[in-house]
Structure 1
Amino acid sequence: MDELNVINAKRQFDIGNFDFGGKEKIYISGPCSVESYDSMREIAKELKAIGVNMLRGGIYKPRTSPHDFQGIGDDGLSILSSIKKEFDIPVSTEILDIRDIEKAVNHIDVIQIGTRNMYNYTLLNEVAKTKLPIILKRGMSATIREWILAAEYIAKAGNNKIIFCERGIRSFETITRNTIDINAVAYMKEVYNLPVIVDPSHGTGIRDIVKRTSFAAIACGADGLIIESHVNPDNAISDAAQTIDIKTMKEIIDTGNKINSLLL
């Protein structure tokens, strides 16, 4: 494992006006799906005011059922681009297809690779060429070694701005959507000290326990959180059950920073 290029990836790098992987925790939030310019603007305004560092919003949505909402597609890029400029906040979205990379690269600051595409090595090679930071979500049934090797494709292609994202793995448990592997976060920070964030939204699938699992992730050493939020969570087009409101997001940031201060 010590011969891997990814081990030499950057522990810290700038995104917008903040330092990722430093002492301060980074909070990424926004709706599961970009719905419209007006709703995205309202969400961005609220999140920027409470200290969120980066806005997330899906425009190409990989859904288990082909009958579910698949995102608004290319129209979402212009929305994200406008919001980014108006509020001076970096934006991130998931890329599913190599054909969408060229269209997206000038509109976003960070590329997300979702759990289903962690094993899509062709896609990993291509997004690496953009030189944008890459959030690499762990495959839903991936081992830690497989996760690191997926990142190796990005690093080997010349991009060392890699952010690992623990988003919960599939287990025998069915009460929660997934099982957040806190062990993985602790291991990655202890053994490799690589940038790791946690996604308690997909990790739990339950709005009411996102806050508690967020605190556990920060206490375990995660460099930040990526959380689905909305000004009206019950009316979110996708993933409403796990989407929190802005008030809860503020509580997570405030308490998360207090927890972090105790660990410094």
Structure 2
Amino acid sequence: MIISMKLRATREEIDEVCEQVKQFGYKVHSIEGEERVVIGVVGVGDVTACMESIEAMPQVDNVVRISAPYKFVSREFRKEKTRIKVNGTEIGGDEFVVMAGPCSVESEKQIMQAAEAVAKAGAKLLRGGAFKPRTSPYDFQGMEEEGLKLLEKAKRATGLAIITEVMSERGVDLVAQYADVMQVGARNMQNFMLLKALGKCGRPVLLKRGLSSTVKELLMSAEYVTAHGNPDVILCERGIRTFETATRNTCDIAAIPVLNELTHLPVILDPSHATGKRSLVPAVSRAGVAIGADGLIVEVHPAPEKAMSDGAQSLDLAQFQKMMAELQPYLELWRESRKTQEAALSAGR
């Protein structure tokens, strides 16, 4: 349930409500605005008795039961879009954020070339895998910590924030030393021990939708991270597995507005994995902008034909620069649409 405190409730009054909720065995999570505090309540069992008790407290304005199974990430819990600050960039705000770079870090020359090119083209975050989950045990598995060190060097040279994948609970602390954003790949979307650990990692988390996962399952995985202490979660639609074989995956483009209705978390699109073909990436990227995504994560490689992983879906440096230029008219419309949405939200408060 959600508890809305009265305007300018004191700290003592807020703490009293939180303590009352805890007496019923539930956990609390508060969002503090400039004038009003909202308290989220989660736990197991019927909350009716707790609701009735809280409603009787004079400092409480309103109590509403949350119908969604995912509590903290639902629009019922928070109407405003969550804005996540990363290295001076705000994801989920007034800027469309592009993350770009190679599938995997392969060498210092490769990652530096990619970082300098994507920064020049307008990307704000550098993606690159130091640890790679591969279907075949014989494929390139990544440079591991040496790859993380190269990403850190690229960050120092370009100013780009780093997003890289973490594959296990054991790797969280190591990756968090280097990464600005911790990426959870599609195969690990329901690795619940990893999600719990990321709730305590102190870094924003980008959570990719699983290969055959529903929107509800994606949101429940996001709930794991938030319920364990980390509200900074970015959702990523990266295509799902269907009967279609013309593309690597099927881009569920409609999932973006669906997620925007259901959750306050930022939503981005991965057109590279969604299609598996570099020729389709620019068109699907434009679709992502038009349909309301908060950003893109795109695979870009200095020499895709020599890439150790995902070369077929990686843009080269010139192709990425061209795509970014072609996105500009769409981004102007995106900014106007975002202003309209924010105005409507403010009017409805």
TM-score by length of 1: 0.96
Residue matched to 1:192 = 263
CA distance in 2, matches of 1:3, 1:70: 34
2:5 is aligned with 1:5:
no
2:310 is aligned with 1:248:
no
Larger mean CA deviation between 101-110 and 214-223 belongs to 101-110
Q: Is the 8 A contact 2:73 2:263 kept in 1?
A: no
Identify unmatched segments of 5+ residues in structure 2: 1-67, 337-349
1:77 CA displacement: 1.3
1:192 CA displacement: 2.7
1:232 CA displacement: 1.2
CA distance in 2, matches of 1:3, 1:145: 8
2:194 is aligned with 1:123:
yes
For the residue of structure 1 that corresponds to 2:160, the secondary structure is coil
1:255 CA displacement: 2.7
Kindly tell me: are residues 255 and 194 of structure 1, through their superposed partners in 2, closer, same or farther at Cα, counting changes over 3 Å? Answer: farther
For the residue of structure 2 that corresponds to 1:6, the secondary structure is coil
2:299 is aligned with 1:228:
yes
For the residue of structure 2 that corresponds to 1:169, the secondary structure is coil
Stretches (4+) displaced over 4 A:
none
What's the CA shift string for 1:106-162, capped at 9, x where partnerless?
211000000000010000010121121100000010000000000000010110111
CA distance in 2, matches of 1:33, 1:68: 12
Q: How does 1:111-260 map to 2 (within 5 A)?
A: 111-260=182-331
CA distance in 1, matches of 2:327, 2:261: 20
CA distance in 2, matches of 1:215, 1:180: 13
Q: Is the 8 A contact 2:208 2:237 kept in 1?
A: yes
Larger mean CA deviation between 159-168 and 125-134 belongs to 125-134
Identify unmatched segments of 5+ residues in structure 1: none
Q: Is the 8 A contact 2:129 2:142 kept in 1?
A: yes
RMSD: 1.4
Q: Is the 8 A contact 1:96 1:117 kept in 2?
A: yes
What's the CA shift string for 1:158-189, capped at 9, x where partnerless?
10111000000000101100001111101111
For the residue of structure 1 that corresponds to 2:177, the secondary structure is coil
Provide the aligned length of Structure 1 versus Structure 2.
264
CA distance in 2, matches of 1:3, 1:235: 43
CA distance in 2, matches of 1:27, 1:257: 12
For the residue of structure 1 that corresponds to 2:73, the secondary structure is helix
Q: Is the 8 A contact 2:129 2:165 kept in 1?
A: yes
For the residue of structure 2 that corresponds to 1:5, the secondary structure is coil
Higher Rg of the two aligned structures: 2
1:254 CA displacement: 2.4
Q: Which amino acid aligns with 2:242?
A: S
Q: Which has the higher contact order (CA 8 A, sep 6+)?
A: 1
Q: 1:45 aligns with which of 101, 116, 122?
A: 116
Larger mean CA deviation between 153-162 and 183-192 belongs to 183-192
For the residue of structure 1 that corresponds to 2:198, the secondary structure is helix
CA distance in 2, matches of 1:97, 1:142: 19
What's the CA shift string for 1:25-64, capped at 9, x where partnerless?
1000000000011211111111111111100000111011
1:203 CA displacement: 0.4
Q: Is the 8 A contact 1:228 1:242 kept in 2?
A: yes
